[in-house]
Structure 1
């Protein structure tokens, strides 16, 4: 679908823009924006991702993957995934633990990664047209700057990294579904990054792998109108190499945890803590700030004492038993909470992280709440209705988006988790915007006000 020539200068420029130039321009923008933002805000630099930063500090000191709650006792942990912890640890080792120099180095790394997100948004949007590629990149930048307090602040939680990794996963499978070359190295790196960064990203990767193999194998059996989402061959070598990378990480980390903690934990340990907090302790199923701070060992002294006395495995085992008992005794209540989380994820994501009267919420907060929930969903539906199954790239993106969000709906949800999908949401909105402009240009919207000949 082309979008006409309503803006001749912009369209001429769009022909000259490449993915590489989108990366360079994005990088310059993020460097300037991040510098100005951090200088003007002048916030403290102690957080560095909270649990991630605590473990990273232990690693940088040479004391191993431990001390997640910053107790000073080097209890081994598997509370957080490996990737972001070791990124922080490497920076701490070079520049000092939680230092100002570490802040600036991490900010530089983040700028490069976000520029990579702009590059990936361009490459994905390019599947729909040259203009779409440019608009998707601009949409990505707009979304990230709209949430500066998370994406470029010095709190350094991992949302910015997760948002770009999700786009990387999408890009890899788009190449596979289009029967385009994917090297074994690239496939292994993407799969390893997913396994090292998030169980949900890994689950999405594995789910897409199954769909990719199934549709390729059964291509001749599918109805004609469904063959657009399939492919004629399966790139077995890169996908099997990727699977091998996942298996190695899965067992290597699981064995480490077995010897260090007495339990085989392949990725991260705290899933049942999330289930417990959002279902047993929360009245409506959302992970409000008071629920989190009132029960988490990082912020609650009683919980911290229990964590230190019992050790991570036994502490989390108690939460698992309580959560399972709740699920067995209150299935209807659990479904009510799932429904509430569904609304929070796809309708209106509460940005306050605490129950607040709507009259006290600012217009900016309302806009942000819609930007990460209802607007991306509406944009996705517009794209699906427009392209149907004619665009495998869109099918891949839709599967990834649902696969990324639904585990949080089933387990635990609050605004931070929604930000992980923000890069993909920006692409949906960018593509839908192009559709909207095209409809206006062709007179399908506001026909009485727009002459087709004038366009």
Structure 2
């Protein structure tokens, strides 16, 4: 009998595919996470950005670059304002998020409420997708109970949704990409099927991560090697992934060479950031008062010198100051380690109870994640070594340069999983025994 005459063959193609309970659970987590974020963002008017400084808080440098792209000035003008209309070409930010903002501006208008709502709605979609990735990471590494708790925690815990509903910036995009590349790595290591396709996707996703937040690229070699330790026959496919990754980032590097006549791999602001984090008067925090978007003198220097010369000048100043007072630099680095995990102090205009609650919540999540990681390493949980390298490498640049609370966000899906694992691993028999003794 031919396949076309087989009634079972026909039935498989005619009847709709029935979703498994697992698939329904994933979709439930996604839709709850998405709707909670979207409804809050809309009803709380989070999309109504402050209009101060000519809409600068609408995407900050990314918004300025997007405006320049839409209005015909190219990838430029990250600090343009009402006094300095154009500040010249830039590589201050990698291009993925500014291009996304520019696409939304092109359709819905520059700095409009509609554009703000759409960009935050995109954040809501990506953050909800991260909830599903968090669920899968927890399930694959720690079991279904941990996966379920981690997925719903990401979906519903306010601290995990704050950037999606409020910030027009790259954190939500980067976190979604990073969480899903971890899911992909877990699938590739455990299951050798579709190997070529998965390695190609691996290279593509890391290319997107590099064009969104290049700091995470420090983790790329570790992630690839971790897969190859189990899939040693996939070396040729890993080379394919590397070629695809390079194909993703090469146009941006080529553009920078053509515009600035120098090699700028992903972003060109390191020297300026070093000075803002380690210059005279530094205390471990970013000295925003000396930033071109706040200080008129710095802005004039940036615009007149051009970005490359300005960044080189500021970098040389930072290196000279660090060499002059290395103990001060080391002390600032230790402070930044603390701030990365315990929370960055907010301006004094916050009510003390709000600031206290924020610090407690931020620190509690870090402690739970770190203790969960230690327990997972001790017990040899799948991918615990990979998670260790992520916790070690992702913050390293920030320790030396500058730190914000949002810099921890790409690690937060892992913090969520490991925190859930920590509490799910509690010895209930001892708790019950203690309760019986106390009664």
* TM-score normalised over the length of structure 1: 0.81
CA 29–172 in structure 1, closer or farther in 2 if over 3 Å, else same: closer
Q: CA RMSD in A?
A: 2.6
Distance 1:313-1:212 versus aligned 2 partners, 3 A rule: same
Q: Distance in 2 between matches of 1:18 and 1:62?
A: 48
Deviation of 1:192 after TM superposition, in Å, equals 1.3
Three-state SS of the structure 2 residue aligned to 1:259 is helix
Please give the residue correspondences for 1:6-85 in structure 2 after superposition, counting only pairs within 5 Å.
17-19=21-23, 21-41=25-45, 44-45=48-49, 46=55, 47-70=57-80, 71-73=84-86, 75-85=88-98
| Match of residue 52 from structure 2 | none
**What per-residue deviation string (whole Å, max 9, x for no partner) do you get for residues 343-398 of structure 1?**
2223x21341x47999676442232331453332223223333x2x2x33222222
Match of residue 309, structure 2, among 296, 309, 314: 314
d(CA) in 2 for partners of 1:275, 1:17: 51
For residues 323-355 of structure 1, what are the alpha-carbon distances to aligned partners after superposition, in whole Å with 9 as ceiling and x for unaligned?
221232222222111111112223x21341x47
Q: Residues 207 and 249 of structure 2 are in contact (CA less than 8 Å); yes or no, is this contact kept in structure 1? A: no
Write the mapping of 1:82-93 to structure 2, written as runs, cut at 5 A.
82-93=95-106
**Pair 116,428 (structure 1): closer, same or farther in 2 beyond 3 Å:** same
Contact 2:280 2:321 in 1 (8 A): no
Alignment match, 2:219:
204
2:34 match: secondary structure: helix
Shift of 1:83: 1.1
- Residue 269 of structure 1, CA deviation: 0.6
Query: What is the distance in 2 between the residues matched to 1:161 and 1:433?
Result: 29
Matches within 5 A, 1:363-402: 363-385=356-378, 387=379, 389=380, 391-402=381-392
- Aligned CA distance change for structure 1 residues 171 and 156 (closer, same or farther; 3 Å): same
Which residue is 1:164 aligned to?
176
Relative to structure 1, the CA distance from residue 133 to residue 264 in structure 2 (aligned partners, 3 Å threshold; closer, same or farther) is same
Q: Classify 1:81/1:281 alpha carbon distance in 2 versus 1 (closer, same or farther; 3 Å).
A: farther
**Number of the residue aligned with 1:121:** 134
Q: 1:99 to 1:409 in 2, by over 3 A?
A: same
Q: Report SS of the residue matched to 1:69.
A: coil
- The equivalent position to 1:433 in structure 2, one of 413, 423, 426, is 423
Change (3 A) 1:179 1:395: farther
The corresponding residue for 2:165 is: 152
CA contact (8 A) 2:37 2:161 kept: no
Question: Which residue matches 2:405?
Answer: 415
Task: Name the structure 2 match of 1:445.
Answer: 431
Could you report, residue by residue, the CA deviation over 1:205-229 in whole angstroms, capped at 9, with x for unpaired residues? 123324554xx2xxxxxxxxxxxxx
- Contact persistence 1:80–1:268 (CA under 8 A): yes
SS of the residue 1:445 aligns to: helix
Give the aligned partner of residue 329 of structure 2. Answer: 334
**Structure 2 residue aligned with 1:6:** none
Q: In structure 2, do the counterparts of structure 1 residues 233 and 325 end up closer, same or farther at CA, with 3 Å as the change threshold?
A: same
Further displaced range: 414-423 or 121-130: 414-423
**Distance across 2 between alignment mates of 1:355 and 1:324:** 31
Q: For residues 126 and 151 of structure 2, what CA distance do their matches in structure 1 show?
A: 14
Q: Which runs of 5+ in 2 are unaligned?
A: 1-19, 50-54
SS of alignment partner, residue 267 of structure 2 = coil
What's the secondary structure of 1:373's corresponding residue?
A: helix
3-state DSSP class of the match of 1:449?
helix
Measured in 2, the distance between the counterparts of 1:264 and 1:251 equals 11
Distance (whole Å) between structure 2 residues aligned to residue 360 and residue 122 of structure 1: 32
TM-score (norm 2): 0.84
Q: Any idea what the Cα deviations from partners look like across 1:51-103, whole Å, max 9, x if unmatched? A: 11111122223331111112422611100011111111111111111212212
- Residues 238 and 97 of structure 1: CA distance in aligned 2, closer, same or farther (over 3 Å): farther
Structure 1: any 5+ residue segments left out of the alignment?
Answer: 1-15, 217-230
